Amino acid sequence: MKPISSQQILILGFFLVLTGAVLPFLMVVHILESTFLLNFIAFASQVAGLFLGTIGMIYYVHKKNH
C-alpha cells in the first residue's frame, strides 16, 4: 500500500477548512438551516483541516530537508 504524500494531506486539509468556512456562510444566508449537528461538523472540519494542514506542511518541510 502506497503511503499518503504531504501534498495529499495539504489538499485534504484545504478542503476541510474550505468546508468549515462555506457551511457557516450558507447558514448565515439561510440556504441551510442552522442545526447543532451542522454547526459541529463545520467546526470539526475547520479544526481537522488546520491540524492536517500543519501536519502536512511539517511533513513536507521535513521531507524536503532530508
Question: Which sequence spans correspond to the domains of the chain?
Answer: 6-65
Distance of CA 30 to the CA centre of its chain: 23
The pLDDT score that the predictor gives to residue 12 is 96
Q: What pLDDT score was predicted for residue 66?
A: 79
> How much is the pLDDT for 65?
85
Q: List Cβ neighbours of 44 (8 Å cut-off, separation of 6 or more).
A: 20
Confidence band of 58 (pLDDT split at 50, 70, 90)? very high
CA 49 – CA 13 distance, rounded (Å): 4
